[in-house]
A and B are shown apart, each in its own frame.
Chain A
Amino acid sequence: MRMISITLKQTSISTSVYTRKQLLCSLCYNHKRTYHSTPALLNKDETPPPPIEEKENADTPQPEAPKVSKRIRRPKYKLWLVNEGKNFTNIYDKPNYLGGSIPFPMNPLFKPQPPLNDRTKEEIWLKFTQEGQIPRKIGIDYGISLKRVEAILKLKKLEKDMVGKGITLQQNLCEKIEKMLGARSFCVEPLTDTLPNVGKPNFETVDENRDFSEKDAAKLLRRPTLAKIREKESKEEFFSLDENSTKDKQMITLVGRDERETNQRFQFKFKTIGKDQNVILRDRDGSLYKIKKELIR
């Protein structure tokens, strides 16, 4: 606070020297009344004050005229830079945001997620190349999305290629900046990001007396009702499940054989319709079979 008093003392001497016009101009510009401007404004004398003496005109000695020092511009800013602002110039081992954990005090919804550190990325690279793990498993283990896994692997490949060509990597930068970003060894991200492709809401005017059921809604949306879709799905499921069990067992018994009834192409099946359902099969080599179905239900 001592610093402030010194500066203001200096300026208070020079107030009378400033022209009223200049002060008004500065006020319009700043929308703020500063300490040193008020006395001159309150002074309602119309006599024009003497003009400003430049610092450079020190050649002509005028001991009576006060020595002019230029007023300190933006004192608040300069003070802040020295006091609180210094914290943003010397702490380089952890993230250091204006609002503590958030960089913009007006927007608390933007909370930057720290990135992955280089050590973890190397691990991911090794897991993919040496162990042959799939990106999906890597994504689940480290909590990163599939797209990010892909990107990490691409960038690591680029890195290895550069090392192969003999280009030096910026490891200094990597180490120092990861400290400042607060990089960690895991992320909290869903594996895939999908925004549902939802259309605009449909609006329909309906009479007050009328009821609006899901059937009417389905008609408007030009699609079958949800109940029907679900039914169809369940039917498909039903069929796939009973593939193995609902096939009726067949009992084939040889009845006779006729050498003359051979046929190279066809098998003949004779089916009786009615109460006693029999199926008789004449095979290609002339043998006759009786087929009986055992119903399992």
Chain B
Amino acid sequence: MRKPKDSFSRGLIRMSWSKKNLFIIHQRGDRLPRSQNRTLFQQKWQAKKDTRAYHGAQLNEQQFRRLFEPKLPTSNIKDQKEEKHPSVSVLTYASLERRLDFIVFRSCFASSIWAARQIIIHGKVNVNGKKVSVPSHLAKDGDIISINPLAVPYLTEPMTPKGLTFKPIPYMQPFLFIPEYLEVNFNTCSTVFLRNPISRPGRSEIPSPFPPGIHSLAHEYYVERIKKKKGKRTRRLVPVEENFRID
């Protein structure tokens, strides 16, 4: 029989507000997965296992490979005035953050990524006013994603002139944060997806329990296995240097 998602023996950190998940994060603390006496493949496998358990746990490998982008954006910062950017590998799972279920979870409107999926499938989520019941819908920059307040887990029935009653879920507070690429309005229970997560000096925009080193290993694992062929159109794309030609 399959072990449950928040199994203590597996010790995987999930996108969930459950108290078991909180305890697992506490137990793992700041100890990185061991790299001593581990071959490179073993380290990459462990990194992939840990990061994928958090980022896109509800996705199959096949589904994930369609979204994975092997080329990370290169940031060419020569100025020493700015604080050093963390390794670009923090953006390994950036392409997943456009998905509707991720947006609903990141805006703190669902208690887990699977709950977010369910809310969407049950039709409680609108994108730019129209109902979208597909959790894999990718949002464009500036899209307004609104959710029916009754579907939010910590809003319950006795309706007051100030809206539904707020009943906090125990152990939800440690997970309450909103990433910088989302703008949330709690009065209307709606979010705007601003832009793709990008590299920032001294911090990572994508909420993740793992440091950039672990993401680098996971990225390396996938890059070796996913070779996205360039289509006919992209092969004919003019390289950057051509645009600067002054003859």
Question: What residues of chain A have their CB less than 8 Å away from a CB belonging to chain B?
Answer: 29-31, 74, 77, 80-81, 84-85, 88-89, 91-92, 95-99, 103-113, 115, 118, 121, 145, 147-148, 150-152, 154-156, 158-159, 162, 168-174, 176-178, 180-181, 189, 193, 195-200, 221-224, 228-229, 232
Assembled-state Cα–Cα distance A170/B155 (Å): 9
Chain B interface, number of residues (Cβ within 8 angstroms): 77
Known: A97-B174, A199-B240. 12 other contacts (CB 8 A): A98-B22, A103-B177, A106-B211, A107-B208, A109-B202, A113-B180, A154-B192, A158-B188, A168-B161, A169-B163, A173-B163, A199-B74
Is B227 in contact with chain A by the CB < 8 A criterion?
Answer: no
B141 to chain A, nearest CB (A): 7
Tell whether B178 is near chain A: CB-to-CB under 8 Å. yes
Residues of B within 8 A of A228 (CB): 246
Residue of A nearest to B207 (CB): A110
Find A103's partner among B166, B203, B207, B244 (CB 8 Å cutoff): B207
- Asked if residues B159 and A181 are in contact (CB atoms below 8 Å), the reply is no
A148 & B207 in contact (Cβ 8 Å cutoff): no
B38-55 vs A, Cβ < 8 Å mask (1 yes, 0 no): 000000000000000000
Provided the pairs A88-B171, A107-B211, A195-B73 are in contact, do residues A221 and B198 lie with their beta carbons within 8 angstroms?
no
Contact with A along B204-218 (1 / 0, CB 8 A): 101111111000000
Given contacts A98-B174, A115-B184, A170-B149, contact A221 B23 (CB under 8 A): no
Bound-state CA distance A227–B158 (Å) is 72
- CA of A111 to CA of B108 in the docked complex: distance in angstroms? 17
Q: Which of these, B144, B161, B166, contacts A158 with CB under 8 Å?
A: B144
Tell me the minimal C-beta distance from A80 to chain B in angstroms: 6
Pairs across A and B, CB under 8 Å, 25 listed: A30-B9, A88-B22, A88-B171, A88-B174, A96-B174, A104-B25, A106-B28, A106-B209, A107-B208, A121-B185, A147-B195, A150-B142, A155-B144, A162-B188, A168-B159, A169-B163, A171-B163, A173-B163, A177-B166, A180-B168, A180-B173, A180-B176, A200-B74, A223-B246, A224-B246
Whether A80 lies near B23 (C-beta < 8 A) is: yes
CB-based contact B142/A176 at 8 Å: no
In the complex, the chain B residue whose C-beta lies closest to that of A167 is: B188
Please determine whether A155 and B190 come into contact, CB atoms closer than 8 angstroms. yes
Q: A173-B163, A173-B166, A199-B241 are in contact. Are A158 and B185 (CB under 8 A)?
A: yes
| B147-173 near A? 1/0 per residue, CB < 8 Å | 001001011000111111110101101
- Residue numbers in B under 8 Å from A173 (CB-CB): 149, 152, 154-155, 163-164, 166, 186-187, 189
A159 CA / B146 CA spacing, docked (Å): 11
Given contacts A98-B22, A171-B162, A199-B240, contact A159 B185 (CB under 8 A): yes
Chain B interfacial positions (CB closer than 8 Å to A): 8-9, 19-20, 22-23, 25-26, 28-32, 73-76, 86, 90, 108, 141-142, 144, 146, 149, 152, 154-155, 159-166, 168, 170-171, 173-180, 183-190, 192, 194-195, 198-199, 202-204, 206-212, 239-242, 244-246
B165: nearest chain-A partner, CB-CB: A172
**Are A104 and B208 within 8 A (Cβ)?**
yes
Q: Is the CB of B203 within 8 A of A109?
A: yes
A31 CA to B8 CA in the complex, in Å?
11
Residues of B within 8 A of A145 (CB): 194
B173 touches A170 (CB 8 A): no
Give chain B's interface secondary structure class.
loop
Please name the residue on chain B nearest to A177 by beta carbon.
Answer: B186
Give Cα A31–Cα B9 distance, bound, in whole angstroms. Answer: 8
Cβ–Cβ < 8 Å partners of B192 in chain A: 151, 154-155
Contact residues in A for B211 (Cβ distance below 8 Å): 106-109
Return chain A residues, CB-CB under 8 Å to B141. Answer: 147
A190 to chain B: closest residue by CB = B200
Q: Give the shortest distance, in Å, between B38 (CB) and chain A (any CB).
A: 17
Smallest CB separation, B159 vs chain A (Å): 7
- Separation in Å of the A152 CB from the closest CB of chain B? 6
Cα A228 to Cα B244 with chains together (Å): 12
**Chain A residues with CB under 8 A of B31:** 106
Q: Assuming A81-B23, A106-B210, is B173 touching A196 (CB within 8 A)?
A: no
| Contact A198–B173 (Cβ < 8 Å) | no
Residue of B nearest to A94 (CB): B173
A177 touches B187 (CB 8 A): no
Chain B residue numbers with a CB within 8 Å of A168 are 159, 161-163
B161 touches A170 (CB 8 A): no
**Closest chain A residue, CB of each to CB of B209:** A104
Smallest CB–CB gap between B165 and chain A, Å? Answer: 6
Minimum CB–CB distance from B179 to chain A (whole Å) comes to: 7
- CB–CB A193/B198 < 8 A: yes
Query: Does B176 contact A95, Cβ atoms closer than 8 Å?
Result: yes
Give A147 to B183 CA distance when docked, in angstroms. Answer: 10
Cα distance A97–B171 in the bound complex, in angstroms: 10
Which 4 A-B pairs rank lowest in CB-CB distance, beginning with the nearest?
A112-B177, A170-B163, A151-B192, A151-B183
